[in-house]
Structure 1
Amino acid sequence: MELPFHSLLYRYFFFAWLFMDVNQCDLFARAAAWHHNKGQARWLPRYIKRYLVSGALLFAIGWLIEHSSPVASAFFYVPGVMSLPMATVAGVAWIGLRVWD
């Protein structure tokens, strides 16, 4: 089954689809979801790298076109700067899933 482009783009940049909800009623379902999430944490460093590389590229593009059009550079600066909090959230989640038992 081939996914549409927008789904692939979403999965490339956002990692929430990898994880299961741990807030379930059954104790065994919670334990299974927690175990699944700990296994899926191995993908988080890849997302961190994607955020940092894409943020640096967007920031560089914004810097390059800032002199010709300051308003247009904001379209590159804002997502470039927002990649840092996304990388931080992914890093905290990765550390939490690796350390917390």
Structure 2
Amino acid sequence: MADTPTTEQGADGELPFLTLWYRFLFFDWLFADVGAARNAFERHAALQHNRRMCRYFPVYLRRWSVLTLFGFGMGCLFERAMQASLWPAWFFTCACLTLSGMVVMLVAWAFLANARRN
């Protein structure tokens, strides 16, 4: 079963570049949808799965912190060194969006990692 490629894998078993890039930056593919569960057993199984997968949040937080620092750094570079006005605004906006994403990840990680075990 593990040797058979999924629908998004090619014949050689490798994922396309855009799929890899998406999985590198976003973590939603790791988690199960608790709301789609049909009964209490499926909900409990999905919640337990999500609690196990929350150990990967620090990896994604590090990746997103690099993006945030890159955005702020490039914004400062374009603002100070090149005296530009539009490019720094674009970089600072992207950095603020990634910082907001990091806050969401931290809250989700805190709730999943510290949830009361049943």
Alignment of 1:24-39 (within 5 A): 24-39=37-52
Higher relative CO (Cα under 8 Å, sequence separation at least 6) belongs to 1
Give the C-alpha shift of residue 43 in structure 1. Answer: 0.2
Question: Residue 56 of structure 1 corresponds to which residue in structure 2?
Answer: 69
SS of the equivalent of 2:33 reads coil
Give the C-alpha shift of residue 56 in structure 1. Answer: 0.6
Alignment of 1:1-101 (within 5 A): 1-23=13-35, 24-67=37-80, 68=82, 69-101=84-116
Quick check: which one's helix share is greater? Answer: 1
TM-score (norm 1): 0.91
SS of the equivalent of 1:66 reads helix
Q: C-alpha distance in 2, partners of 1:63/1:38?
A: 38
Deviating above 3 A after TM superposition, structure 1's stretches of 4 or more consecutive aligned residues are none
Segments of 5+ residues of structure 2 without an aligned counterpart are 1-12
Give the C-alpha shift of residue 45 in structure 1. Answer: 1.0
Segments of 5+ residues of structure 1 without an aligned counterpart are none
Aligned residues: 101
Q: Structure 1: which amino acid aligns with 2:27?
A: F
SS of the equivalent of 1:2 reads coil
Which range moves more in the overlay, 45-54 or 65-74? 65-74
Give the C-alpha shift of residue 75 in structure 1. Answer: 2.4
Q: Alignment identity in percent? A: 37
Give the C-alpha shift of residue 36 in structure 1. Answer: 0.6
SS of the equivalent of 1:58 reads helix
Q: Structure 2: which amino acid aligns with 1:33?
A: A
